[in-house]
Chain A
Amino acid sequence: MVPRFWRKIKYRYDVVGSHCENCGSHYYPKREICPRCRRRGKLRDERFPDEGIILSYTVVNGKIIAMIGLNNGAKTLAEVCADKVEIGMKVKKAFRRYGEDGEAGIIYYGTKFVPSG
């Protein structure tokens, strides 16, 4: 479990995704190849914007999981820390706990979103 989490730290602690320098598309999470350009694609890691809007959401076990459209066009699924949300609401990234591997295991941190007012 530890190495699997560790490999994703860069992409979870901040919104770092892929930018295709060939077609200009942005993807989150990171991709190995650009689905539009295929072998002509040139993917680079890029830090994405801090803000976006809620495109859609659902509530699972009391947690709000939303499809968020970031300001560069990329879409990401993430938890939104709020009592209530609505489609079109502006959100910004927040650094939070995802969970922990029991009381003695490691703590998983990563990006969630909060209303940006």
Chain B
Amino acid sequence: MIGIVSYGTYIPKYRIKVEEIARIWGEDPEAIKSGLGVKEKSVPDLDEDTATMAVEAGREALSRAEILPEKIGAVFVGSESHPYAVKPTATIVGEALGIGNGYFCADLEFACKAATAGMQFCFAMVKAGMIDYGMSIGSDTAQAKPGDALEYTAGAGAAAIVIGKDPIAEIEATVSYTSDTPDFWRRDLQPYPSHGGRFTGAPAYFRHVTSAAKKLMEICGYSEKDFDYAVFHQPNAKFPARVANMLGFKEENIAQGMLVRAIGNTYSASSLLGLCGILDIAKPDQRVLLVSFGSGAGSDAFAIRVTDKILEYPRNAKVWDKANNGVYLDYALYLKHRRMIK
């Protein structure tokens, strides 16, 4: 049985409210909050970035499962805000975690789904007997152009998932649905991403998420009734709620994973932080549907069954406790934290 043997999360302590951003651009905060379903977002500290958050999440994952660092055979870091354009983040993480030198390693990039692709790599490598444990981390300090709609949601956070045998949550199956759909992108040397506005919806997010979810259920012979929880990529709070509805899930199935409502869109970490929020309270034999989405575009879907082992696994501090504790910044300090003023 192969699956998730441990997980760790990191959410920076700073927040900015939608009201404060709307104040700068003369927009109506209530309209934005009801439109996006997001009321504030997480902001990294001045000396935090994708690599530092990835290390913190990775350390929590290792210490909870009491896995010796040198047992980790692969490290993948998925992000669209790697600190270097050329030079891996994953080597910084591997070094800081004390993994040694004999491990498979790469940075991954597929917008917001890079880390679930990393989970698939780790799953396959464990299954093939190449490694005992593999770690996939999603970490992002999401960029947003000041004044763009993305500025209200582009948050920061990281989630680390360790894959191995004898798991707390078995990965029963995983599939992907991929196409060339340019809904969101960032060209080389450009500081901020561009997007296709409404085009990010039906042909991109909804098509890929529903297709991957349906393909997975078909392969496993499951319907939505076989899942206790569902978690989807969360670019805002509206998209995952709507896609849940399209697939037959109710608010009670998704609420525990909807971290976006508290901290915004954490990009590569988004669906994984939601999964960790669910694993924080899940009971043995409950089943979780995880479907990520990465612009460009693709979705990775997983059927995850929680095992008895979760009862002896330490699950504090919980993701929601981290998400609900924040220190608020004004817009000027927010710009400084995002290194837009130096």
Contact = CB atoms under 8 A, between A and B. Distances in A.
Nearest to B48: A96
A9 interface: yes
Nearest to B87: A106
Contacts of A10: 95
Interface stretch (B30-38, B49-57, B71-79, B250-258): B49-57
Interface string A66-110: 000000000000000101000000000011111000000001010
A95 B89 CA distance: 13
Interface of A: 9-10, 13-14, 47, 81, 83, 94-98, 107, 109, 112
A43 B57 CA distance: 32
| Pairs A-B, 5 closest by C-beta atoms | A95-B55, A97-B47, A13-B96, A96-B47, A95-B52
A109 B56 contact: no
Given A95-B55, A95-B56, A107-B83, A47 B98 contact: yes
B220 interface: no
A106 to B, nearest CB: 8
Interface in B96-113: 96, 98
A109 B96 contact: yes
Interface residues of B, number: 16
A50 to B, nearest CB: 9
A96 B52 contact: yes
Nearest to A79: B47
Given A97-B52, A107-B84, A81 B47 contact: yes
A42 to B, nearest CB: 22
Most buried by A among B47, B84, B95, B96: B47
B246 interface: no
Contacts of B92: 13, 109
Most buried by B among A10, A81, A98: A81
B45 interface: yes
Contacts of B83: 107
18 contacts: A9-B95, A10-B95, A13-B95, A13-B96, A14-B98, A83-B327, A94-B56, A95-B52, A95-B55, A96-B47, A96-B48, A96-B52, A97-B49, A107-B49, A107-B51, A107-B83, A107-B84, A109-B51
Most buried by B among A9, A81, A96, A112: A96
Given A107-B83, A107-B84, A97 B96 contact: no
A97 B48 contact: yes
A112 B52 CA distance: 11
B42 to A, nearest CB: 16
Most buried by B among A10, A14, A47, A98: A14
